[in-house]
């Protein structure tokens, strides 16, 4: 990923971030709880039933993480498996790690396919999309044998992946923020892959400069969601983080794989820039029983969450309605949507908080519990049970996994360093109380780009 410093563009954001840094520092920073002593129940004999009890090594609390080598700290990018149960004696330990030393920029986001294959999008032009070879060794432990960079036909800066069936055929859809070339000022693509062979079937592009005025366009796509034969992708920000910022979502007709509508999602500009819609979620009956389908959109620089009604009979979208205003709520840079059976969770990088809402109340955002106060850069999350039985949420706290000027890291953008805590914080899901945290920069001299539950997703709704 080519990073251009552009202080001008982000001056306002820096200021906004600084305002909230204090809030972040005031959060409870309790350390890990005192851990119980582990009991080794394994033994060799055969006569005693208990002797055959083995190290069960709970995988429910393990996660796959994408780590970014920090150049000034002499570390390499990697894919790692970590233990995230605060009650485990090895909490925070890397159980297995596969280093990727030949990429300038790290892998970006992890996704499991419906058939259990592990994929990652990537920021390095040499590896914008990859399949990760994950198997088990003779002790049963998961091991990563390799990372296979896939042919994207030149598409760069992979962001989100979604598997979706169209007329009975399942495809893998991937957004490429830099489209077919990062040098394009208004590029970006949505790619349709054969879900079995990983081969590109179609690259969907519609650059604003190449379509007629008023025609739908695709620019800097990141977020992705779909319902029936309609897919939505967001227009976020140029991959160099400097050339341009989007303010719309684009509707794709999956019968023809063509863009049919671009909807502007923008109101106030709290930092003076376009809204930068980032993640979208097509709320649909498979997520909420009997819900009227509608779209939710988080705007990264608008600090807002929007709702767009959808009429599935005539396949039309209504006017966007702002349903959450970060400026008045003291939050900024809303990023991800995640959901479990009863709640919808939205992460806000500033000040570093995850807000929660009753799924059954959608399309309205009705709070369902206390905020989960994590750290600056609150971003991706997973849900899982600890061995004590309580339900947990782990939040990855990094807006973008870039370096810090204080480390003389050439990838630094001043403001981004302030919304990167380089940590995963683990909380009691019910109360939001923080139970433990791992700072990857302190412990492993690396940043953390993404977290995904090791075996099966710890959530049911993401895109």
Partner 1 sequence: MASTVIATVVTTVIAFVIFRSDGEPALATPLTGFSAPFVFGRFNVPKGNPLTVEAVALGRRLFYDVRLSANNSISCATCHMQHLAFTDGKPTAIGISGKKLAFNSMSLANLLWGSEHFFWNGRADSLEQQALIPIQDIDEMGQNLDELVVELNADAHYKAMFAAAYGDINADNIAKALSAFERTLVSSNSKYDQYLRGEATLTDQEDLGRKLFVAHPDVKTSLRGGNCIDCHSQFLTAGFKPLYDGFSNNGLDNEENLSMGLQIVTNDPAHRGFFKVPTLRNIAVTAPYMHDGRLASLDDVLDHYNEGTQLSSTLSPLIMEADNVVRGAQEPISLNLSDNEKRAIIAFLHTLTDHDFLTNKSISSPF
Residues of this chain that interact with partner 1 (CB under 8 A) are 42-46, 49, 51-52, 54-57, 59, 115-118, 131, 134-140, 142, 145, 195-198, 455
Nearer of residues 8 and 197 to partner 1, judged by Cβ:
197
Nearer of residues 165 and 430 to partner 1, judged by Cβ:
165
Nearer of residues 139 and 328 to partner 1, judged by Cβ:
139
Name the minimum Å distance from CB 150 to partner 1: 11
Whole-number Å distance between alpha carbons of 280 and 249:
8
Whole-number Å distance between alpha carbons of 247 and 239:
15
User: Torsions phi, psi of 411, nearest 5?
Assistant: -85, 5
Nearer of residues 121 and 307 to partner 1, judged by Cβ:
121
User: Torsions phi, psi of 35, nearest 5?
Assistant: -95, 145
Taken as a whole, the chain contains a residue count of 463
3-state secondary structure of 7: helix
Structure tokens that stand for 21 in this block? 């840094």
Give 317's Cβ-side CA count (13 Å radius): 25
Nearer of residues 31 and 45 to partner 1, judged by Cβ:
45
Name the minimum Å distance from CB 41 to partner 1: 9
Structure tokens that stand for 235 in this block? 């227009």
Name the minimum Å distance from CB 92 to partner 1: 20
Nearer of residues 136 and 442 to partner 1, judged by Cβ:
136
Alpha-carbon distances, residue 261 vs 113, 254, 315, 395 (angstroms): 28, 13, 11, 34
Nearer of residues 5 and 117 to partner 1, judged by Cβ:
117
Name the minimum Å distance from CB 169 to partner 1: 10
The terminus-to-terminus CA distance of the chain in angstroms comes to 24
Structure tokens that stand for 314 in this block? 């005539």
Nearer of residues 107 and 400 to partner 1, judged by Cβ:
107
Whole-number Å distance between alpha carbons of 129 and 175:
10
> Which DSSP symbol is given to 461?
B
Name the minimum Å distance from CB 136 to partner 1: 4
Give which of 106, 93, 97 is closest to 403, Cα–Cα.
106
Nearer of residues 196 and 210 to partner 1, judged by Cβ:
196
Whole-number Å distance between alpha carbons of 311 and 318:
8
Give which of 79, 22, 10 is closest to 240, Cα–Cα.
10
Contact residues for 49 (Cβ-Cβ < 8 A; gap 6+): none
Name the minimum Å distance from CB 411 to partner 1: 32
Q: In this structure, are residues 131 and 121 in contact, taking their beta carbons and an 8 Å threshold?
A: no
Name the minimum Å distance from CB 269 to partner 1: 43
Nearer of residues 25 and 196 to partner 1, judged by Cβ:
196
Compute the CA torsion angle 422, 277, 279, 204 (nearest 10 deg): -120
Name the minimum Å distance from CB 261 to partner 1: 28
Q: In this structure, are residues 255 and 271 in contact, taking their beta carbons and an 8 Å threshold?
A: no
Name the minimum Å distance from CB 58 to partner 1: 8
Nearer of residues 241 and 283 to partner 1, judged by Cβ:
283
Whole-number Å distance between alpha carbons of 399 and 225:
21
Name the minimum Å distance from CB 126 to partner 1: 21
> Which DSSP symbol is given to 114?
T
Buried/exposed code over 145-155 (b: 16+ C-beta within 10 A; e: otherwise): eebebbebeeb
Give which of 353, 376, 382 is closest to 450, Cα–Cα.
382
Name the minimum Å distance from CB 407 to partner 1: 35
Name the minimum Å distance from CB 288 to partner 1: 13
Distance of CA 131 to the CA centre of its chain: 17
Nearer of residues 48 and 314 to partner 1, judged by Cβ:
48
Q: In this structure, are residues 266 and 218 in contact, taking their beta carbons and an 8 Å threshold?
A: no
């Amino acid at each position: 990923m080519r990073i251009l410093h552009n202080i001008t563009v982000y001056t306002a954001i820096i200021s906004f971030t600084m305002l909230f840094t204090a809030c972040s520092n005031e959060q409870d920073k309790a350390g890990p709880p005192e851990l119980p002593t582990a009991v080794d129940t394994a033994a060799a004999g055969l006569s005693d039933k208990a002797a055959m009890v083995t190290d069960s090594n709970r995988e429910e609390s393990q996660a796959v993480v994408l780590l970014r080598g920090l150049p000034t700290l002499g570390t390499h990018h990697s894919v790692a498996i970590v233990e995230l149960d605060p009650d485990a004696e090895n909490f925070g330990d890397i159980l297995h790690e596969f280093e990727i030393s030949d990429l300038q920029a790290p892998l970006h986001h992890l996704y499991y396919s419906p058939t259990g294959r592990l994929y990652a999008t990537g920021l390095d032009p040499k590896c914008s999309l990859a399949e990760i070879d994950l198997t088990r060794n003779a002790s049963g432990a998961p091991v990563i044998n390799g990372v296979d960079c896939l042919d994207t036909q030149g598409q760069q800066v992979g962001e989100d992946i979604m598997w979706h069936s169209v007329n009975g055929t399942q495809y893998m859809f991937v957004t490429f923020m830099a489209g077919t070339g990062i040098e394009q000022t208004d590029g970006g693509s949505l790619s349709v892959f054969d879900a079995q062979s990983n081969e590109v079937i179609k690259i969907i592009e519609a650059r604003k400069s190449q379509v007629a005025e008023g025609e739908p366009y695709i620019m800097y796509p990141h977020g992705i969601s779909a319902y029936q034969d309609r897919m939505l992708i967001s227009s976020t920000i140029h991959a160099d983080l400097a050339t341009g910022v989007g303010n719309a979502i684009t509707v794709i007709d999956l019968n023809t794989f063509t863009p049919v509508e671009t909807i502007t999602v923008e109101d106030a500009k709290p930092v003076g820039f376009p809204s930068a819609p980032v993640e979208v979620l097509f709320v649909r009956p498979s997520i909420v029983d009997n819900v009227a389908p509608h779209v939710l959109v988080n705007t990264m620089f608008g600090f807002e969450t929007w709702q767009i009604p959808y009429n599935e009979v005539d396949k039309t979208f209504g006017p966007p309605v702002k349903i959450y205003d970060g400026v008045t709520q003291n939050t900024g840079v809303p990023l991800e949507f995640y959901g479990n059976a009863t709640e919808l969770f939205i992460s806000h990088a500033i000040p570093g908080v995850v807000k929660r809402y009753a799924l059954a109340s959608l399309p309205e955002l009705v709070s369902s519990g206390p905020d989960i106060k994590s750290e600056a850069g609150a971003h991706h999350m997973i849900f899982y049970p600890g061995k004590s039985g309580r339900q947990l949420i782990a939040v990855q706290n990094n807006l973008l996994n870039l370096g810090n000027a204080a480390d003389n890291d050439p990838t630094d953008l001043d403001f981004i360093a302030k919304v990167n805590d380089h940590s995963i914080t683990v909380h009691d899901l019910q109360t939001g109380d923080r139970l433990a945290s791992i700072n990857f920069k302190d412990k492993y001299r690396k940043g953390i780009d993404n977290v995904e539950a090791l075996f099966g997703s710890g959530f049911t709704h993401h895109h």
